[in-house]
Homo-oligomer: A and B are copies of this chain.
């Protein structure tokens, strides 16, 4: 199948994504019968491009990085409306995907939530690396996606492209997740590790900014908002909750943490910013807290750039997934994994397994009387 892609946003993630698609095109074609082409790109300040016959995403990424422009300036809403209209035939054929890669707004998750709504209304699938839609509006967006028979996927929103959501969806059928604990924000985890080695809060933060890991305005990370958005998204999907980042009990890493880090270290323990959620009666309680962990706790060993998520399940006990290093390629890959999930559904037999012959199917008798074993 060929998926047509409309990119809303063309920052670091969007540009790495179009280049990664080029790099791994041969294996996507061979292993998953998936081809892609970019039919629209919206940037925040460098204009927009439409191209029904396919745009050269990598060349346009070069152009933007060289200070150039893509085309006429449009609001992202106007761009998206036009792109959905221009590509309506692909949308009807279930081959149109809106790739939402704008940055997180932690007040309301906008305009990303609206982008997802518009895309689904236009019968496009949506994949996004933005935590906002799943953190603020998962239930409504998933309901809409099911109603219009399209997918709303966001593997990259937590732990880059490491399969957290796809793991739970595809590989844990029938398992109930009762709660989770994890270290999900790299900036604060890097900082806590540096502070353990004696760095001050200010020094640790400056180092993260120099390395390009923390943003120039790092408040989303150090105030715990990024972790809270991830916690809400995880709780909404894995525990069926209806949380938002604002209903997560939230703590961040501040200059005060230095003394707590030192005290933990003196006691042979580790201070970690732990994201967690658990069922509390009919509702779900989500938290982001600085917790002093014994050295034997699995999360105590998650240092620097590592992330980890421990799921409490009914049938498998505790299982955890650990990401040893993070980065732009891993984030961009999460979007690709979501595209493959869509391709499998649009063309399930080609993308997964050889198709059975028609003759064999036709001979199949109807299922016999049912009885559970």
* A1-53 with Cβ < 8 A to chain B: 1-2, 5, 18, 20-22, 24-25, 27-29, 31-32, 35-38, 53
Contact with A31, one of B163, B173, B316 (Cβ below 8 angstroms): B173
Given contacts A175-B333, A316-B161, A336-B174, contact A373 B22 (CB under 8 A): yes
The binding surface of chain A is classed by DSSP as: mixed
A174 and B373 form a contact (CB under 8 A): no
* Chain multiplicity (copies): 2
Bound form: Cα–Cα A139–B53 in Å: 41
B327 and A37 form a contact (CB under 8 A): no
Chain B: CB-nearest residue to A155: B171
Bound form: Cα–Cα A371–B172 in Å: 36
List, in ascending order, chain B residues with CB within 8 A of A320's CB: 321-322, 324
Contact with A322, one of B29, B319, B352 (Cβ below 8 angstroms): B319
Given contacts A174-B28, A317-B324, A323-B319, contact A371 B330 (CB under 8 A): no
List, in ascending order, chain B residues with CB within 8 A of A340's CB: 173-174
Bound form: Cα–Cα A15–B333 in Å: 41
Chain B: CB-nearest residue to A312: B324
A36 and B92 form a contact (CB under 8 A): no
Bound form: Cα–Cα A173–B30 in Å: 11
Q: Does A289 contact B (CB under 8 A)?
A: no
Contact with A92, one of B28, B301, B364 (Cβ below 8 angstroms): B364
Binds B, one of A197-205, A231-239, A253-261, A353-361: A353-361
List, in ascending order, chain B residues with CB within 8 A of A341's CB: 173
Bound form: Cα–Cα A57–B373 in Å: 6
Per-position binary interface string of chain A over residues 347-371, scored 1 when its CB falls under 8 Å from any chain B CB and 0 otherwise: 0100011111100100111011111
Q: Does A318 contact B (CB under 8 A)?
A: yes
Number of interface residues of A (CB under 8 A): 88
Q: Does A149 contact B (CB under 8 A)?
A: yes
Q: Does A337 contact B (CB under 8 A)?
A: yes
List, in ascending order, chain B residues with CB within 8 A of A1's CB: 367
B173 and A32 form a contact (CB under 8 A): yes
A21 and B373 form a contact (CB under 8 A): yes
Q: What would 15 more interface pairs be, CB under 8 Å, given A92-B364, A172-B337? A: A18-B373, A25-B372, A32-B174, A35-B370, A37-B372, A92-B360, A163-B171, A166-B170, A167-B167, A315-B333, A316-B333, A317-B323, A317-B324, A319-B324, A320-B322
